């Protein structure tokens, strides 16, 4: 489902929810000083805002106001049957920004959240944005096409769909215990805590919402959105990312956003916000203050 216009006015509902124009409730966290520089954090699939907690705590402790929301269908937000696509995701981010009247934002997106941030720029511009960050992010395009031969074959994403239908609980455990954190690499020491956290967050997402999101993050082309990045941009990616391989993502995005600063973490997996959190925290804070 694609939309060409932004929905009706979003409104804040209580301390931690925003109601979108299509009656979806978006849950958000609001950490740190209310008058601090604003950071928004958009999460990956099939997770929620809790996946950013190490960065949110660090940045809030350093005087920033950190807003992290649960994408529609994920975490504590509503689970609508329709609208599980990048246009709606971007408009939901806009709804949070508008309802809270956020300005001068450093907007970061991890994985699928990077696509959300890119599509936000494409649909809503950068009038409220000061800086942009793509962290292990999916843009410009994940799936392999004739124009994107370096992408992943559609069979990879069909496999995710098949696994989700067959036993999504096991699928999430397999992803977390294997490629997401790089625990399948020789010499790696798996963390049961990280595996359990990934699984718990994934199981909070609506089955239909998470299923539809596979198409959203894999088949959405963000090339035109990236062309509208006119703010300082940070791109961070691990060179051992088995989920979103670096060549078709960060390297390609860097060519489309030539002013971007690209930081490659040697040996880092997709889940670098946890495995390399201290390094990422420092890089994000330095970028925000630059």
Instruction: Just list the catalytic residues.
Output: 111, 241, 270
Question: Which three-class secondary structure state does DSSP give residue 13?
Answer: strand
Q: Write the CB contacts of 139 (distance below 8 Å, at least 6 apart in sequence).
A: 114, 115, 118, 222, 225, 226, 249, 253
Separation in Å, CA 214 to CA 51, 63, 142: 18, 35, 11
Q: Which residue has the tokens 């209580």?
A: 14
Chain-centroid distance, C-alpha 79: 18
Question: What DSSP state is assigned to residue 249?
Answer: I
Dihedral sign for Cα 118, 119, 120, 121, please.
positive
Opening angle at CA 123, ends 218 and 288, nearest 5: 85
Provide the pairing of β-strand 65-69 with 129-135.
Answer: unpaired
Provide the pairing of β-strand 129-135 with 105-110.
Answer: parallel
């Amino acid at each position: 489902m694609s939309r060409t216009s932004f929905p009706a006015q979003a409104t804040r509902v209580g301390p931690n929810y925003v109601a979108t124009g299509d009656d979806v409730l978006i849950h958000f966290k609001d950490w740190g000083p209310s008058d601090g520089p604003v950071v928004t954090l958009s999460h990956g699939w099939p997770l929620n805002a809790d996946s950013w907690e190490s960065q949110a705590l660090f940045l809030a402790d350093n005087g920033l106001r950190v807003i992290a929301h649960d994408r529609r269908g994920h975490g504590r937000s509503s689970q609508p049957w329709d609208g599980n696509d990048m246009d709606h995701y971007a408009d939901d981010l806009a709804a949070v920004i508008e309802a809270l009247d956020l300005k001068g934002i450093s907007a970061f997106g991890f994985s699928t959240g990077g696509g959300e941030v890119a599509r936000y720029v494409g649909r809503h511009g950068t009038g409220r944005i000061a800086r942009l960050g793509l962290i292990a992010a999916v843009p410009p395009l994940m799936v392999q096409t004739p124009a994107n031969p370096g992408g992943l074959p559609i069979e990879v994403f069909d496999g995710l769909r098949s696994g989700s239908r067959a036993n999504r609980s096991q699928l999430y455990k397999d992803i977390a215990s294997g490629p997401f954190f790089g625990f399948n690499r020789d010499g790696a020491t798996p963390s049961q805590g990280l595996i359990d956290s990934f699984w718990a967050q994934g199981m909070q997402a609506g089955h239909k919402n998470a299923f539809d999101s596979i198409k959203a993050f894999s088949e959405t082309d963000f090339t035109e959105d990236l062309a509208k990045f006119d703010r300082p941009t940070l791109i961070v990616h691990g060179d051992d990312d088995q989920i979103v391989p670096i060549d078709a993502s960060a390297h390609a995005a860097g060519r489309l956003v030539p002013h971007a600063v690209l930081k490659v973490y040697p040996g880092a997996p997709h889940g670098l916000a946890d495995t390399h959190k201290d390094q990422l925290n420092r890089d994000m804070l330095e970028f925000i203050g630059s």
